[in-house]
């Protein structure tokens, strides 16, 4: 026999010998019983989700297989995932900060006016300091304007140069 | 291997008692009759196991996958429309499961080979290959088996499947095309390529 590229007779004979590879004696006598036992135990029902994931969503398995076979790709995928999580976290925190600020501003504007005070506070006017409570955020007690927190300790002075000092 | 003829649920009515018997078993199994399903498993267990075993070269993996195949088939029995024979349908489940498994297992092949049965030593082809004209005369039965399986594992999954179904199990091209859901030409070209590859790997063990 020759081993020419298109004469596969020897190869076919060799491959046919694989038919002689057989499982241990008695294996097939028990096989059907084991399948039946697994069906009876309801084991297959518990595994339904995983089986469906494996069989129907084979893309997930392919992705997993690709990642396990290529560590570099797995690392890049992990970094991408971390980046996405960080970006989402930063975005969420900035959105929630903006929300908190607008909420505090809205609360500052809609506080009930104390007795004797004007009905509505003008923008930039500090709300009463003692309005902070467990239901009002601390932010609402903060002054609305940057310079409003300077205590009113400034006194008018009359500066007149002393005669003869120059 | 079992000699049972495969039933085609949706095909032409058959007067073959084996086929009508199988149709009856399928109907009963659909109604949760485990004894009927047990009979169906017994009909095809050897062929399904052998296919998976030759694909994985591992007895334990083949056992697990063959059991999973029949459990999956039982679960999906109600959705079996009979567009193909039951036999082809179960084969497809086995093949899909095995290929998915092999893709996950890639690069960590661990062979767990079955022993050659007693008949192997008396097979004329085996005797000729091992002792007489083989360039590697020292090659014993187990070494030959190991090299053969190693060469099989070097093929891609689809090429290994075609070789397994055709050259090891003796299925015709048409049936392989049905199982692999491709046309006969594709089966032939894959078989040709796979044999070329195998021939290259096993050149020392093929007679001049």
- Whether A34 has a pLDDT exceeding 90, the answer reads yes
pLDDT of residue A107: 67
Contacts of A36 in chain B (CB under 8 A): 34, 37-38, 41
- Whether A128 has a pLDDT exceeding 80, the answer reads no
pLDDT of residue A127: 53
B92 touches chain A (CB under 8 A): no
Chain A interface residues facing chain B, Cβ-Cβ under 8 Å? 1-3, 5, 8, 10-24, 27-28, 31-36, 38-40, 44, 48, 51, 54-55, 58, 61-62, 64-65, 68-69
| pLDDT digit string, tens, across residues B31-86 | 989 999 999 999 999 999 999 999 999 999 999 999 999 999 999 998 887 777 89
User: Directed axis angle between helix A48-55 and helix A58-69, to 10°?
Assistant: 80
Average pLDDT over residues B109-123: 68
8 Å CB contact of B97 and A55: yes
| pLDDT digit string, tens, across residues B153-195 | 999 999 999 999 999 999 999 999 999 999 999 999 999 999 9
Nearest alpha-carbon partner for B108 in B155, B52, B56: B56
CA-based nearest residue in chain B for residue A3: B208
| pLDDT digit string, tens, across residues A18-32 | 888 889 889 999 999
Is this model's pTM higher than 0.80 or not? no
CB-based contact B193:B158 (threshold 8 Å): no
Contacts of B195 in chain A (CB under 8 A): 8, 11-12
Dump the DSSP string for A86-132: HHHHHHHHHHHHHHHHHHHHHHHHTPPPPTTS-SSPPTTPPPPGGG-
Contacts of B45 in chain A (CB under 8 A): 28, 31-32
8 Å CB contact of B74 and A51: no
Q: Quote the CA–CA distance of B178 and B184 in Å, as a whole number.
A: 9
What ranges in chain A are assigned the alpha helix state H? Answer: 9-16, 27-41, 43-46, 48-55, 58-69, 71-109
CA distance A8 to chain B (A): 7
- Whether B112 has a pLDDT exceeding 80, the answer reads no
Nearest alpha-carbon partner for B55 in B93, B94, B108: B94
Contacts of B106 in chain A (CB under 8 A): 65, 69
Please count the residue pairs, one from chain A and one from chain B, whose beta carbons lie less than 8 angstroms apart.
142
Residue B74 vs residues A154, B10, B94, B180: alpha-carbon distances, Å: 90, 18, 13, 21
- Whether B197 has a pLDDT exceeding 90, the answer reads yes
A66-71's contacts with Cβ under 8 Å and 24+ in sequence apart are A68/B104, A69/B106, A69/B107
Name the residue with higher pLDDT: B147 or A158: B147
Question: Going by C-beta distance under 8 Å and a sequence separation of 6 or more, which residues neighbour residue A90?
Answer: none
pLDDT of residue B13: 46
Contacts of B115 in chain A (CB under 8 A): 21-22, 24
The residue among A6, A18, A57 with the most chain B CBs within 10 A of its CB, best to mutate, is A18
| pLDDT digit string, tens, across residues A78-93 | 899 999 999 999 888 8
B108 touches chain A (CB under 8 A): no
8 Å CB contact of A39 and B196: no
């Amino acid at each position: 026999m020759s081993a020419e590229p298109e004469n596969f007779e020897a190869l076919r004979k060799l491959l046919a010998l694989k038919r002689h590879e057989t499982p241990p004696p008695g294996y097939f006598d028990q096989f059907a019983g084991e399948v039946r036992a697994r069906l009876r135990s309801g084991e297959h029902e518990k595994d339904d989700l995983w089986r469906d994931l494996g069989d129907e969503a084979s893309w997930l398995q392919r992705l997993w297989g690709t990642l396990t076979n290529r560590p570099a790709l797995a690392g890049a995928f992990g970094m991408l995932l971390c980046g996405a999580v960080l970006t989402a976290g930063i975005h969420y925190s900035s959105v929630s900060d903006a929300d908190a600020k607008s909420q505090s501003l809205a609360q500052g504007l809609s506080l009930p006016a104390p007795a004797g005070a004007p009905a509505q506070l003008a923008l930039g006017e500090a709300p009463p300091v003692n309005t902070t409570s467990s239901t009002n955020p601390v932010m609402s007690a903060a002054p609305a304007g940057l310079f409003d927190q300077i205590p009113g300790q400034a006194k008018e002075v009359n500066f007149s140069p002393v005669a003869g000092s120059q | 291997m079992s000699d049972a003829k495969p039933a085609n649920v949706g095909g032409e009515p058959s007067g073959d008692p084996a086929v009508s018997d199988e149709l009856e078993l399928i109907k009963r199994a659909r109604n949760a009759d485990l004894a009927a399903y047990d009979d169906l498993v017994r009909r095809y267990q050897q062929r399904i196991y052998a296919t998976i075993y030759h694909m994985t070269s591992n007895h334990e993996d083949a056992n697990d996958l063959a059991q999973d195949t029949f459990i999956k088939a039982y679960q999906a029995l109600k959705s079996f429309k009979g567009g193909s024979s039951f036999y082809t349908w179960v084969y497809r489940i086995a093949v899909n499961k095995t290929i998915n498994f092999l893709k996950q297992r890639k690069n960590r092949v661990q062979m767990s080979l079955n022993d050659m049965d007693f008949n192997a030593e008396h097979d004329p082809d085996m005797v000729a290959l091992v002792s007489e004209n083989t360039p590697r005369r020292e090659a014993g039965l187990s070494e030959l088996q190991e090299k053969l399986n190693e060469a099989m594992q070097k093929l891609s999954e689809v090429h290994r499947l075609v070789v397994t179904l055709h050259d090891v199990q003796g299925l015709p091209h048409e049936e392989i095309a049905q199982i692999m859901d491709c046309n006969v030409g594709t089966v032939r070209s894959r078989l040709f390529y796979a044999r070329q590859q195998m021939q290259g790997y096993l050149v020392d063990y093929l007679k001049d």
